[in-house]
Chain A
Amino acid sequence: MSAKAAPSDMAFRVADRLRTDGPWDVIGERSTRFEVHLQGAAIELERGPITVEGYGVRLFRPRGDKLGTGFQGSTDTSPEGVRAVLEDAEATARHSEFPARTVELPSGGRAPAEVLSVDRGLWSDPVGSIRAYVDALLRPFEGRKGAVPSFGSVKATLTELSFANSAGLKVSFPCTRVDLELAVKAFGGPEGAPPGEFWVTHTAGRLEPESAARSVEAWCRHAADVRHAVTPPTGDQAVILPPPVLTDILPHVLGFQFTGVARLRRIAPKLGAAVAADRVTIRDEGTYPWGARSAPYDDEGAPRGTHALIERGSVAGLLYDSLYASAFATGSTGSATRTTLGPSVDSFGDLRFTQRSGPGGSTIVVAPGDGGTTDELVEAAGEGILVTQLGWANPNPISGSFGGEIRIGYRIRGGKIAEPVRGGTIGGAVLAPPGAPSMLANAEAIGRDLELCGYLAAPAILVRPLSVAGSSP
């Protein structure tokens, strides 16, 4: 079965039916998802198409020296349905206040050069592509002794987006997204140890069967190492954080604190403030190839681009959508987003037409440093811990603190990888006031190899020190 090939014009059709004053904008979305769920190495359940097609209308009304911002989303495109949505949006605008007098919505502008955000093979044959991906993922387990997949799913979402607004904007584009979750179990052997598990999650804009298949060896090794890992010692230590761990931390903190939302709440760092080591440079790249949020346009229809957040350790810029830009008399950075990062309390959190937009990160890119390969970072660490996976770093975007249980990592002894560790916690602050210890201020070395992990592209970072809570001395 293939997805509908016609370009989405939902926003244009709804916009044609709006009989209202500006400023307003409309987002149209058709989301079609296909899923395969695994039980062991067998397919437990196939799902799809899971189809939702809807639109959201946002409008802005003067309310004294402030702006009433109204919004409603719906799947009903009938004239009565659009009328009801407009009434809801007007009602919510009457009861909302935003500290700006007006808003300047995007009116088009130059589209970025081709953005790698649509997996064409997946688009033309979603079911066949996912089945082929699952086959490729499971093949390395065939005949393997002592390691099996125990649980998992592959979810592929094909999204067609369209935007129209009262400034004359009309753009539409597709994008794809793939979410992999796989638990690998290691068992058996003479040692009688309980089974071990390595639990993988990965998000990207495309299916990557070769990459997944290549990773199986490492996943199985980590699962096996869990079985005889020991609790690390307590104390401040050198810690190496690879990209799969950093993606659970940096986008959540930087993607909030470096935005107009945080600035409005007086949480954003000040421009020019030194918040990280000199070697740290971080940007937000809206068109990063195959990033989970990469697209030619943001979720208001403004062209996405690249924006410096931290330049050689100092704050270089913040991210805005059109509304939050208007609060500070600045311009949008094409950073409007209507989806949440990672786990959401709202099960519709991935449906853009159900959400108001706000500024947020796209792909947070940590510039490679001169720390070399991961092996060279290990050598530079001397003694410490390489953390391969945390339970859930779950950083607090407001305070910037993070921490989690070590699910699997490795001691570093004499500049070499040594025995596996598991249990205990690492934690600290991502950012801290100048002079205070933090993960980015204590970044002693940054690796050379960029790896894309969902909302982050980064090399491994050596942090010295970071607090480790484990076994007693």
Chain B
Amino acid sequence: MTTVADHEGGLDQALQRLGRKARFAELMAESRTGDRVSVDTSSTTFASEPRLRGVVFRVWTGRQWAEASTSEFGPAELDVVVSRLESESERGGGNAPPPGEPATTRGSWTAVAKRSLRDLGPEGSISLAKDIRGWAAAVQGISMVHVVLDWGQSERLYLNSAGARCHQRIERTHAIVVPIAMENGRVGFERWGVGGIGGLELLPELTEPTIRKTAAASKELLGAKAPPSGETDVLLEPGVTGIFAHESFGHGTEADQFVRNRSYLKPILGQVVGPEYLSIVDDGTFPGGWGSFFCDDEGHLAHKTPLIDHGRFVGALHDRETAAVLGAKATANTRRSDFRSRAFVRMTNTYVAPGDRTLEELVADVQDGVLLEQWMSGIEDPLGGQMQIKVQKGHRIEHGRITDLVGAMALSGKVLDFLKAIRGVGRADRIVIEPGFCGKGHSDPLPAGTGGVHLLSRAIVGPA
């Protein structure tokens, strides 16, 4: 399949044509390649990324933005899209300048894997997946194993009528292993997963001992006790802390929600919201991070944005429009899920920076609480300031000791109360960014990384 760059001439012509009718025009064209191996106990599936590419155009009509997109790069198909946006520009009826400053970045970047999963070929990838399945299946009590290995390369070209040209290729690799134990109708499973920008070099921990340990943990979950119910001390493991960062001060600081007056955080920008040892960052430049990129879908170079700095709420995530409205600078957080999706303010890699407490110290600080492990999902509450986090399992903490294994839980709480109740942030030599997929509201999924360290606070938990 031809690349997007091969069609740059035709795309650029279409953009120039739009630029003659509209005050500002831009396009994002993309294509994807990749393979996915899925092996379970009864079947093997090898799949290739569909041969699909497309382009979205956006124009400022003098009153509002308008967009259209197509999966075809031929002159006739581009003409349909451009004509539609030309007529929108004429219909626009306004004379206002486009909000904010356009990017003028020019560059071309590639993030390749040191050892690509692609290089293993279908046979090698399937063989690896079957080995992994075998490691897990060898653990007594495991009745089903699901292994997924995939790699994908995304190519994106951004052009605008102000002269920006950003071309980037990024390869991501993702591995998931789920051993499932079943007994008398009960199901227990643990998930092991890693993902990021790169290739097989991301998977040094994908070893037989790791997978056997995961399988043993799945079996152990069959005997998990019911989780506590009600308000209690909660110790979040690093991955769960990452979801907390994402759902609380991640979504809460997407400044398009400030502009809509739909963020509980807007009135308290600049205030102290947590302990001095708490810092939260969104970092699109995090090396190898699942949500990293070179430039965003408005042509701004990737950026590291402090959100909470030593307890003080210091920053928000901006696109060009919110930056203009709120007197800030664009932070390179404008992202589209794909060429069919609109641009929104989105996170990249969001994490809680390390503190100074050891895990032992944090556990010792809890008389009656629960350790939350293995995040499954979370959801924000942009205006109400609540958050929901779900985990696959946990352990009770009693009198400063980790005790019984407990099953799946949901955490509920008011973010600002949760911050005030933080009693410690764990230490770490490095942050591990875990792969996840983030939606804006209930749609537009895209890769977003999360990470953190152990964090001790207080919230409501219950079975889930």
Contact = CB atoms under 8 A, between A and B. Distances in A.
B408 A95 contact: no
Give the size range of B's interface with the partner.
35 or more
B340 A50 contact: yes
Interface stretch (B13-21, B49-57, B206-214): B49-57
B337 A266 contact: no
A347 B444 contact: yes
Interface in B33-52: 40-48, 50-52
Nearest to B44: A97
B40 A265 contact: yes
Interface string A362-399: 00000000000000000000000000000110101011
A46 B71 contact: no
Given A405-B410, A423-B460, A51 B69 contact: yes
Interface string A157-185: 00000000000000000000001010101
A211 interface: no
A354 B257 CA distance: 33
Interface string A317-348: 00000000000000000000000001111111
Interface in A398-449: 398-407, 422-428, 432-434, 436
Contact of B381 (A52, A84, A391, A470): A391
Contacts of B442: 181, 201, 342-343
Interface stretch (B182-190, B272-280, B297-305): B182-190
Interface stretch (B110-118, B258-266, B326-334, B426-434): B258-266
A95 B388 contact: no
Interface stretch (B59-67, B235-243, B287-295, B397-405): B59-67
Interface in A43-70: 43-54, 56, 69
B445 A344 contact: yes
Contact of B384 (A98, A155, A347, A407): A407
A197 B262 CA distance: 9
B340 A33 contact: yes
A269 to B, nearest CB: 9
Nearest to A197: B383
B292 to A, nearest CB: 18
A96 interface: yes
Contacts of A35: 342
Contact of B42 (A264, A345, A396, A428): A264
A310 B377 CA distance: 29
Interface stretch (B80-88, B309-317, B347-355): B80-88
B180 interface: yes
B262 to A, nearest CB: 5
Nearest to A353: B50
A341 to B, nearest CB: 12
Interface in B66-106: 66-72, 77, 80-81, 84, 88
B167 interface: no
Contact of B260 (A150, A266, A436): A150
Interface in B170-229: 180, 182, 184-189, 229
Given A96-B46, A356-B47, A181 B230 contact: no
Nearest to B336: A347
B187 A394 contact: no
B376 A150 contact: no
Given A39-B260, A402-B464, A53 B71 contact: yes
A262 B101 CA distance: 52
Given A266-B144, A471-B230, A73 B64 contact: no
3 A-B pairs closest in CB distance: A469-B462, A403-B464, A433-B185
Given A47-B68, A432-B185, A433-B186, 10 more contacts: A33-B340, A39-B259, A39-B260, A94-B122, A95-B122, A347-B340, A347-B445, A403-B408, A423-B413, A436-B185
15 contacts: A50-B56, A51-B80, A72-B50, A74-B50, A74-B51, A75-B51, A91-B46, A150-B260, A356-B45, A391-B386, A394-B390, A423-B413, A427-B464, A428-B463, A433-B186
Interface of B: 1, 40-48, 50-54, 56, 64-72, 77, 80-81, 84, 88, 122-123, 126, 143-144, 180, 182, 184-189, 229-231, 257, 259-262, 264, 337-338, 340-342, 376-377, 379, 381-388, 390, 407-414, 437, 439, 441-446, 460-464
